[in-house]
Chains A and B, each alone.
Chain A
Amino acid sequence: MPFELKKFSSTNPISKLIKLTQDDRQKQFVKLLSKSCQKGDTVIYYLTLNNDICGFVGLSASKIDTIPCINIDYIYVAESYRKIVYNDLDNKKISEYIMSFCLSLSTDLKNSIGFRWLVLTPDNTELEKFYIESFKFIKYKALKEKITYLFIAI
């Protein structure tokens, strides 16, 4: 099978992930995520196609207000793999497959530990629109911090 999903847990994967982007903003997020993974705060799941990393997601536990959540820290798809629909991913793009995996994993976890929502903070309005339209996330913009949160109940 050419696609494989693997994970980094309690290690620092920066050398494998940082080379996926040339963008300084994205590199900063990768550094932050890798540190969090090393500390054990985040687990990074990464998808490979013929052993080439095509995308990854960092997941952690968090609390928003008093609501226990699974947090999507950061999702990234390598530029050369974006916007392509793959038959092997059930006719989905890599971003859609990764999000579906997050929802599926969250459902599994909910049977073992208590939490209510999956949450993410989109990096831009285009992504915000994608998550709301494709996955029916509910938006909340915290006025004080000016941060947009997207929630879906699991």
Chain B
Amino acid sequence: MAYIYKNGKATTVQTSDVKIPKRIVTKVDLNRDSKEIIDMAIKSVKKAKVKYAF
């Protein structure tokens, strides 16, 4: 499901029937930057002075 704005209205669209080309799947799965970005995000969330109230 994706939230989009179409014809002046916010609506949802199904995403399960979207076909992703193989080159994009490979590009996402092999994206070398993602691991580094995620590691940085995890560290940053740990360092942030935020009370997790859930």
Interface residues of A (CB under 8 A from B): 1, 3-7, 25, 28-29, 31-33, 36, 41, 45, 47, 60, 62-65, 67, 71, 73-74, 88-90, 92, 97, 99-101, 103-104, 107, 116-117, 119, 121, 123, 135-136, 138, 140, 142, 145, 147, 149, 151-154
Among all A-B residue pairs, the 3 with the closest Cβ atoms? A28-B10, A100-B41, A136-B33
Chain B interface main SS type: mixed
B3 touches A74 (CB 8 A): yes
Interface residues of B (CB under 8 A from A): 1-5, 9-13, 15-16, 18-21, 24-25, 27-29, 31, 33-34, 37-38, 40-42, 44-45, 47-54
Chain B hits for A41, CB < 8 A = 1
